Amino acid sequence: MIKKISSILALSLVFSSCYYDKEELLYPSPVDCSTLNARYSTHIAPIIQTRCAISGCHDASSGNKGGPFTNYTLIQLKANTIKAQVESGAMPQGSSLTANEIRLISCWVSSGAPNN
């Protein structure tokens, strides 16, 4: 009986310690910006206007600590924070950006957040 319980316990430990993780989720590839020309006017402004600068979030009447994202100057001042929040998934609240939108923002900020 003790041998049977020991065997069951050993098998339980073996199977409970085995799990599967997707490597790309644990160790995401760095974003390759060399092939992406992220432009403020074409890519970033539309994302910010439709996903961030909306009522209750970062519009002109925003009272939250992030402030409004209503023009290039205000967005550029917060560019590194925006990048960090977007990459971590903390923003936008209530929904998430697509992988491509995150990549565009990351590359734009990494290139100095130019007004292009």
> Which of the residue ranges 13-22, 28-37, 59-68, 82-91 has the most confident prediction, judged by mean pLDDT?
82-91
- Any domain includes 14: no
Peptide bond into 92 cis (omega under 30): yes
Per-residue pLDDT tens for 28-61? 666 788 888 899 999 999 999 999 988 888 988 8
Is 7 within the bounds of a domain? no
Domain count within the chain: 1
| Whether pLDDT at 24 is above 80 | no
Give first-to-last CA distance, the chain, whole Å. Answer: 75
Asked whether residue 55 is assigned to any structural domain, the reply reads: yes
Query: pTM for the complete prediction?
Result: 0.72
Mean pLDDT over each residue of the chain, to the nearest integer: 85
Residue 18 pLDDT > 60, yes or no? no
47 domain residue, yes or no: yes
SS3 30: coil
User: Is 53 a member of any domain?
Assistant: yes
pLDDT for 69 equals 92
10 within domain boundaries: no
Cα 35 to Cα 37: distance, rounded to the nearest angstrom: 7
pLDDT at 43: 96
Domain region containing 80: 23-111
- The CA radius of gyration of the chain, in Å to the nearest whole number, is 22
Residue 1 domain-assigned? no
- Inside any domain, residue 4: no
